Amino acid sequence: MDVKGRGVLVTGGASGIGASVVRRLSLAGARVAIIDRDADGANRIADEVAGLALVGDVADPDIMPMFTSVVEDRFGRLDIVFLNAGTVGGQPGTSELDVEHYRRVVGVNVDHVVYGLSTAVPALRRAGGGTVIATASLAGLLPLASDPIYTLTKHAVVGYVRAAGATLAEEGIRVCALCPGFADTPLIAEQRDQFGEFPLLTADDVAGAVEAILDHGQGGEAWYVQPGREPGPYGFRGVPGPGSGARPPALKWGS
């Protein structure tokens, strides 16, 4: 995909995977805006790539609409949205529950993806189509026993993308999920020593998978990324339907 001159919005772009994607797409000629709570980090990366830094909390329902509008006005169009901001669950979630922290995790990992996609779609329509990539995780495809809440949120992202992608593809809007394994980024900094010799992805490995999705990804796909393997769409097994063989109706909601 030729990204030269395209308008790009990246959440969580001040470090790790987000920053690597910002650098790659900027180098390829895209005009990139970064949303992050880390003002210093966002401004540093924006200065590096002559991009636009926007400081805010993506879990706030007002942030994505406001900044999407800013980006569209500044760049004249919005073509690619990388909904990458995320956080770990940090608690078992099966006995004592820190409700405030739980709501924070859901707000960043799930709500921000919904806010981001629903806000981006009208802008992408105005541009004649585009791509939205939401960072999930292998925990969106498989259970991560050490973090059930994180697993819950990433399964939600994968399910949302698969359902939304099928409909939006008809309008030339691709929606895909990115499902990397463990990556050596600030997200796992406190647990880094526990991995020992276990192979970790680099942020640039994952950014390469983003480029691959932009090149030939299809709407509704969830792409796995693992060390030593080429990234690709995960093949979901079909679920048995009714014994009668009847297909479910295509329901329409609202008036």
**Residue-level pLDDT at 89:** 84
Instruction: Report yes or no: 170 and 215 within 8 Å, Cβ to Cβ.
Output: no
User: Which of 39, 34, 40 minimizes the C-alpha distance to 21?
Assistant: 34
Non-local CB neighbours of 96 within 8 Å, separated by 6+ positions: none
In a domain, 191, yes or no: yes
Q: Is residue 255 over pLDDT 60? A: no
In a domain, 119, yes or no: yes
DSSP 28: T
Instruction: Report yes or no: 140 and 158 within 8 Å, Cβ to Cβ.
Output: yes
**Residue-level pLDDT at 159:** 98
In a domain, 242, yes or no: no
**Looking at 150, 160, 224, 234, which residue is catalytic?**
150
Report percent pLDDT > 70 for the chain: 98
**Residue-level pLDDT at 120:** 98
Domain that holds residue 70: 7-233
In a domain, 1, yes or no: no
Judge if pTM exceeds 0.75: yes
234 is catalytic: no
Give how many domains the chain has, as a whole number: 1
Six-digit token pair at 54?
Answer: 């926007």
* Segment 175-221, tens digit of pLDDT: 999 999 988 877 766 777 777 777 888 999 999 999 999 999 999 99
Which CATH number do you get for residue 47?
3.40.50.720
Strands (E), the chain: 7-11, 31-36, 52-55, 80-83, 130-135, 173-180, 222-225, 232-233
* Segment 59-99, tens digit of pLDDT: 999 999 999 999 999 999 999 999 999 998 888 888 889 99
Six-digit token pair at 189?
Answer: 């900094």
In a domain, 239, yes or no: no
